[in-house]
Amino acid sequence: MSTPQGSPGDIRNWPILKIDYRTDTDKVAALLPPGIEPGAEPNVHLSIYNVPVPDVPEYGIFMTIDADYRGIPGMYTLGYGIDQESAIFISRDMNGQPKYPCEIDYYRLGESVTARCTHQGYTFLEFEGRSTGPTENPPDHEENEWWIKVSRAVGGAEKAYDFPPHVVRVRSTYATTHVENVEGDLRLLPSRWDPIASLLPVREYLGARLWWSQFLGREITLEGALDPDAYWPFVDTIGGSRWPGVMGGPKQS
């Protein structure tokens, strides 16, 4: 099985580090606004990457949980922590993509794979592992992400919106050019700014892999509206993420 080829150091050659684990069904349900339902399994998916956006390196992590909308299996996105400010606000304002600033350390040296994610001085994720070598490429597949586009009313009136909450469907199709299994240890650390350790604790670690993907297509579409009154408890978040917060910051403990 051949490995990906390209110019040395070209950031287009970087794989995505994909980490999966199982948490509690009630923990997943608590983070989903009414209208979006828990998926068949309470699985959490972490993807740590370095890709050109649009033509400069963007290091990031995106965190999703299995969730269905109108009977379509997919993943509700809690946050894209990234290290370049230029892509944060336009992505959130245009498409509802929940991006926010984050410091990412992610690299491979030989078979060793290391990742660390830090926000507001708190490291909330650490991963250390080793590649065990290539495995069989999966078939081409489709993924659906659910984002929320919403804008509170100017002046902050209770339960008032300039644009009420709508689901944004991100339908992506992928091929796989190469994949390697990774044996390693995932550590989720306490953080009020990225409360994944407390709100989505690990109950069963499902594994990790390095994935070299090929985009076959992507569609971002505005889907149905959510009940605006039922959504109101979810409108306050931590920055641009969908982690629950108060006035744009973490909830006080």
Q: What is the pLDDT of residues 122-158, one digit of tens each?
A: 999 999 999 999 999 999 999 999 999 999 999 999 9
Res. 252: pLDDT tops 70: no
Could you write out the DSSP letters of every residue in 157-214? -TT-EEEEEEEEEEEEEEEEEEEEEEEEEEEE---SSSTHHHHS--SEEEEEEEEEEE
pLDDT of residue 9: 65
Side chain identity at residue 135, one-letter code = T
Q: Which of 120, 117, 106, 15 is nearest to 63 (CA)?
A: 117
Q: Which residue has the tokens 């009420």?
A: 164
pLDDT value of position 3: 72
What CATH class has 11-139+174-214? mainly beta
Percent of the chain residues past pLDDT 90, beyond the cut: 86
Whole-number average pLDDT of the chain: 94
Per-residue pLDDT, averaged over 107-129, amounts to: 97
Asked if pLDDT for residue 1 goes beyond 60, the answer is no
Average pLDDT of the segment spanning 112-129: 98
| pLDDT interval class at 47 (50, 70, 90) | very high
Residue range 51-100, pLDDT digits in tens: 888 888 899 999 999 999 999 999 999 999 999 998 999 999 999 999 99
pLDDT value of residue 12: 76
What is the structure's pLDDT at 251? 79
Cα torsion 154, 235, 58, 139: sign: negative
Q: Are 48 and 16 in contact (CB under 8 A)?
A: yes
